[in-house]
Structure 1
Amino acid sequence: MKSLKSRRQFLGEASCASIGCISTLSSLLNLKLANQAAASSLTAGDDCKTLVCVLLAGGCDTFNLLVRRDAEYDTYAASRTNMALGHNAGGASALLNLNQAPDNDGNQYGLHPSCPELAEMFNGTGAFSGHGRRLSFVANIGTLVQPLTVAQYTDPNNTVPVPKSLFSHIDQINQWQTSLPQGIPELTGWAGRMADLLHSSYNTEATSMSISLAGNNVFQIGKQTLQLAITSNGALLPSGNTPSLNSTTGRKNLGIDSLISATYNNMIQDAFASHMRSSFNAQEAFKAVYDAIDTSSVPSALEDTLNSSNIGKQLYTAAKTIKARQELGLRRNTIFIQRGGWDHHGELLNTQAGMLAELSEAIAAYQQVLEIFGVAEDVISFTASDFGRTLRSNGRGTDHAWGGNQMIWGAPVAAGKVHGTFPDLALSENGGADDIGLGGRILPTTSTDKFFGEMATWFGVGSGDMPAVLPNLSNFSTEPDLNLLG
């Protein structure tokens, strides 16, 4: 039992769903070899855009995040049994009310009761009454090679391709990051491929376009682009985000500096030292900018909220990095964040309630900081996860499935809506049209490519370059647009 628990903890917090759980050393080795000259400040008013990906690693049960609170609640409750919100008391009244924008899909939705801050962002109330709606959902999204029906999925002749290794953590999170679910061997992600196209046109080359707060990831790697890995404290230096002082820490830095500054006869040693020196310089340059960021306009209550959790700290660091984009020489950049632990085969209701409360508080506080910094109009943030979960309870939790719901938020978003098509949550034996079986695994009605494609267009990828970023997007040309942007 102990070994099973340890494995699940590893799959979550150590990121079962991540391609790389990376040590400080390997993160340094994979930094962008940027121009080491000081960044030239961008002209005030230049077009700046940032995409922030928040990976909910482990496979978040998002059919318990966004729930129909109309007549379809009974179908949801029948399929989920003891995992249904409101199962013991309250029914649909246990959900937080979401008031959709006027041009909505006509359904009535509720939110997990642990997420009042997200409800305010969706409804444009509370802390967001002065800003308006800021958050939407994309319903039943998942990896697809091309449009697919349940009949085609179950066809023994396999006439339509399906994603490889469905329901596998590492494979599905890789496919979310590469956007190549047919299993093509590829070490680049769709954000990295965007960086290959856009970095030299929009940025000064002084800082990598790909900034990660969660170590190495495939999402941000391109053929010419590597990510700059930082921490919630800023620069990722060998002894932490601390200056070289006359101390043990300082002597450690000086020792490392001496080793990587030396010239070696061995070519491999010399190349290693040179790479490390460039990486160390990039981190020191980032530190010089990051440590000078003025956060005096942020209320202490928001800072306390963000600093109370790891995901909050990452989001606050992301917001500060976005604020410093002029000094970092960035008009376009992506930021990668991760919160693991969503693999809830057991104790789903209690554990997820606490984790969603933490996530809701952090996301809302982060968005408020972006508003305070005056950069909210330039940032879109979104969630990703390995997959959804089975509708059927395994007794204490739910298991790996396929389609699920994701969030997208920010001032540019057409907020207060549920984009896409919410699925039929009846089990197949009860006539469910979207259940492929195996415990209530829902076939996605929206491809990740449609989701990514609209964000990539906003980011600056032209139609002629889109096939290089999202090779499968053209397979979905007849599918309706999500209309994610306001």
Structure 2
Amino acid sequence: MERRSFLYHSCAAAAGASFSLKGMPLNTAPQRSFLDALSFNGNPENRVLVLIELNGGNDGINTFIPLDQYRNLSKFRRNLLIPERNVLRLQGTQVNGLHPAMTPFQKMYNDGLVSVVQNVGYPEQDYSHFRSADIWMSASDADVNIENGWAGRYLEQRYPGFPTGYPSDANPDPLAIQLGAVMSLALVGSQWPMGMAITDPKAYYEFVNSVVEPAPDGPFGDELEYIRLVTQQAQQYFKSVKGAADKGRNQSTLYPPDEKNYLADQLKIVAQLIKGGLKTPIYICTLHGFDTHSEQINPSGNPLEGNHAELLQMLSEAIFAFQDDLKLMGIDDRVVGMTFSEFGRTIGSNGSFGTDHGAAAPLFVFGKAVNPGIIGKNPQVPTDLGESDDLPMENDFRAIYATILKDWFGLEQPESILGQKFPILPIFKSISTPTRDLQTAESFDLNLRPNPFRESSTISLQTNGGQISVRLLDGLGKVVQTVVEGYYPAGTHQFVLQRQNLPMGQYYCQVNVNGTIGVRKIVAM
């Protein structure tokens, strides 16, 4: 075959399908910039969402530990429950703690960089890995099959007509990048994949360093090597990725050594590309190994060691280094991350030092832009337990998606993507939904009078008692006044919010009771 003919047919195929470069399946889906659509409260820089999949079904009970449920938990998972004395304690709550392998993440939580959403799942839980993952990726009901993803539909709505006219000099960047796995269903639109996949961080570095994969011996070896080189050099898409990689330089010294923590390797690439100027708004990373039917803990019986502890240590170290990198780069105000898993695990342990497929589990959203604390109540462990009992859902995972779409990406009607309305949760400091109200009314009652106010407003708070803080935030989520902070007994308490030198405008009263956060709008006249 002549080289010209070979190139013609190969490039024509590549224009509509994925191809491989040094083991990296790449989909040619460069898109326009999110410069206007994803502005950060008028800041022209783009917002970025980093999704971290904990593949296999993470055991939420041993990750974000409900300390007030220890009596019953000790009955049903005595061979793997973390001893209470070893649980990492968290500021602002007496009833939750972290797995002892998550010390870096504990620091992030105590520094106000983590929002925890409790008991996340969906109705009519499916216990198949593949089906449940599809439900999470597509945002479908459990009894409905959708062949495209929630993020893909969102990106498709933002960019009608894709891929016609892409890439261009003005819009050279990919819309989404998947690291650590083949293209996720979450990034698939109704007709086209909306991003690119890099399955191997080592291959990524070879690519951005202009290493061309040697072609195999054979009649078409020279042509194959040539097409790889031409594709790498000619595609505007690759130019934008390589250009960002060349410009971006990681700043943090906290990353583990290369190839010692696969998630950290992925997040290091994400930080490099963001710093390098890539306008990609969505990244997906993956950490495998959470299907802990056996040897979740060390078979010797030490619950502090084993597969789950190693995974949570990797997760914690990787996110901590990534957040440190973003801060040192000066871009941590426009990047947030979220962990998710296709389901949780059973309440009780099995006979193999593990747990089986369950339902709901906690979910972490992290970054400078989140409201720190806990959304929702601790799961309730019954006194009597069936062999396969698990935790019921409190928060539908699609409510988190709706919140991200509305409060982070500024989409006015998330239901246009999700197919139905879901509540908006108080995850982000930057509150784009003025009507959003207290999310956990059962935990405490809150009233502000007068509202609007001129000189002062009285905050009435009825609670079961505990650690309480009341803060006033401006429209950007910045704390402008701490009204009260300390321990208060059960009952109704009144605190006075003084106007002081506050200018006229809209503010938000953020109440934290034992880690549960509620927000109400208040107006200074």
Give the alignment's TM-score, normalised by structure 2. Answer: 0.66
Partners of 1:388 and 1:40 lie apart in 2 by 34
Contact kept? 2:208, 2:242, Cα under 8 Å = no
| Corresponding residue to 2:86 among 71, 81, 94 | 94
Contact kept? 1:199, 1:209, Cα under 8 Å = no
Greater CA drift, 46-55 or 250-259: 250-259
- Secondary structure, aligned partner of 1:363: helix
Amino acid at match of 2:267: L
Structure-2 residue corresponding to 1:17 = none
Contact kept? 2:345, 2:358, Cα under 8 Å = yes
% identical aligned pairs: 22
Structure-2 residue corresponding to 1:317 = 269
| Corresponding residue to 1:281 among 214, 235, 243 | 235
Q: Structure 2: which 5+ residue stretches go unaligned?
A: 1-17, 162-167, 298-305, 430-525
Partners of 2:35 and 2:221 lie apart in 1 by 29
Partners of 1:182 and 1:304 lie apart in 2 by 39
Counting matched residue pairs gives 387
Structure-2 residue corresponding to 1:344 = 292
Q: Is 1:138 the counterpart of 2:95 in the alignment?
A: no
Contact kept? 2:102, 2:312, Cα under 8 Å = yes
Partners of 1:317 and 1:255 lie apart in 2 by 30
Q: Is 1:410 the counterpart of 2:410 in the alignment?
A: no
Contact kept? 1:401, 1:441, Cα under 8 Å = yes
Contact kept? 2:25, 2:182, Cα under 8 Å = no
Q: Is 1:79 the counterpart of 2:28 in the alignment?
A: no
Amino acid at match of 1:185: N
Q: Is 1:167 the counterpart of 2:103 in the alignment?
A: no
Partners of 1:189 and 1:374 lie apart in 2 by 31
Residues 306 and 258 (structure 1 numbering): CA distance in 2 closer, same or farther, change over 3 Å? closer
Contact kept? 1:234, 1:287, Cα under 8 Å = no
Structure-2 residue corresponding to 1:423 = 379
Q: Is 1:334 the counterpart of 2:282 in the alignment?
A: yes
- Secondary structure, aligned partner of 2:363: strand
Deviations 1:5-51 (A, max 9, x none): xxxxxxxxxxxxxxxxx99479646331558xxx9999995141011
Structure-2 residue corresponding to 1:11 = none
Q: Structure 1: which 5+ residue stretches go unaligned?
A: 1-21, 87-91, 101-105, 125-132, 145-161, 262-275, 431-436
Of the two structures, which has the highest relative contact order with CA contacts closer than 8 Å and spacing of 6 or more? 1
How big is the shift at 1:194? 1.5
- Secondary structure, aligned partner of 1:219: helix
How big is the shift at 1:279? 11
Deviations 1:285-342 (A, max 9, x none): 144313312426x14x3244576311100011111122123xx3x2x61000000011
Amino acid at match of 2:308: Q
Q: Is 1:227 the counterpart of 2:215 in the alignment?
A: no
| Corresponding residue to 1:454 among 403, 407, 425 | 403
Partners of 1:207 and 1:381 lie apart in 2 by 20
Structure-1 residue corresponding to 2:391 = 442
Give the alignment's TM-score, normalised by structure 1. Answer: 0.71
Deviations 1:129-185 (A, max 9, x none): xxxx111211110123xxxxxxxxxxxxxxxxx35xx11000011111111033433
Residues 338 and 280 (structure 1 numbering): CA distance in 2 closer, same or farther, change over 3 Å? farther
How big is the shift at 1:461? 4.3
Partners of 2:228 and 2:96 lie apart in 1 by 57
Residues 371 and 107 (structure 1 numbering): CA distance in 2 closer, same or farther, change over 3 Å? same
Higher helix share: 1
Partners of 1:250 and 1:394 lie apart in 2 by 49
Structure-2 residue corresponding to 1:89 = none
Residues 80 and 240 (structure 1 numbering): CA distance in 2 closer, same or farther, change over 3 Å? same
- Secondary structure, aligned partner of 1:383: strand
| Corresponding residue to 1:463 among 402, 412, 434 | 412
Residues 313 and 27 (structure 1 numbering): CA distance in 2 closer, same or farther, change over 3 Å? closer
Partners of 2:216 and 2:201 lie apart in 1 by 18
